[in-house]
Amino acid sequence: MAYFSDVRPLERTGGSIDRPLRDVFRLPAIGASVAEARRRVLARLTEWDIGTVIRDDAQLVVSELFTNAVRHTDSERVDCELRVTGVRLRLAVTDQGSGNARHAGGAAEAPADTRGEGENGRGLLLVSALAEAWGVRPGAGGRGHMVWAELGFGPSAP
């Protein structure tokens, strides 16, 4: 785990992280955990001195992915990993349950599958709009889903 003094300010300098930063946490698969996941992401990214825009985007992405894991799987818990390397923040949310992979977090082709007018799917459109890349793969041991999204920052970020 890195501490505040280990990280250069990013948005102010347009710099990148010299070494990877990583944090992992696990929460119960209940609705109240979505807000706790957002709080934990905000706290960690603030500690790492990640800029406000990326912190805000990361909170939205984690909220959507965590919500899908809670709503669309039979998981008892949901894991979340944050990793900063260079000028990228990678967020990964892993459920342990069965459920529809498309709804659990999307698939590589998910943006085409999420154009419906209903409430379901709009969150994945948001993830697609905010992330430079995102996708889903089977969880460890073939159980559940790991959904990831990468946000870029620094001089080349939009």
Q: Give the tens place of pLDDT for each residue, 61-119.
A: 999 999 999 998 999 999 999 999 989 999 999 999 875 544 444 333 344 344 434 45
Residue 149 in tokens: 């999204």
- Please identify which residue in the block is written with the tokens 């990326």: 54
pTM above 0.85, yes or no: no
Q: Could you tell me if 93 and 65 are in contact, meaning their C-beta atoms sit under 8 angstroms apart?
A: yes
- What element of type H or E holds 19? strand 17-28
Q: In whole numbers, what is the pLDDT of the chain averaged over residues?
A: 79
pLDDT band at 4 (very low <50, low <70, confident <90, very high): very low
> Looking at per-residue confidence, does 20 or 152 come out higher?
152
What is the average pLDDT across 41-69?
95
Which of the four pLDDT bands, split at 50, 70 and 90, describes residue 49?
very high
**Cβ-contact 69, 105 below 8 angstroms:** yes
Query: Residue-wise over 9-25: b if at least 16 C-beta within 10 A, else e?
Result: ebbeeebebeeebebee
Q: Are 41 and 25 within 8 A, CB to CB?
A: no
Q: Which tokens in the block code for residue 154?
A: 């620094």
14, 155 in Cβ contact below 8 A? yes
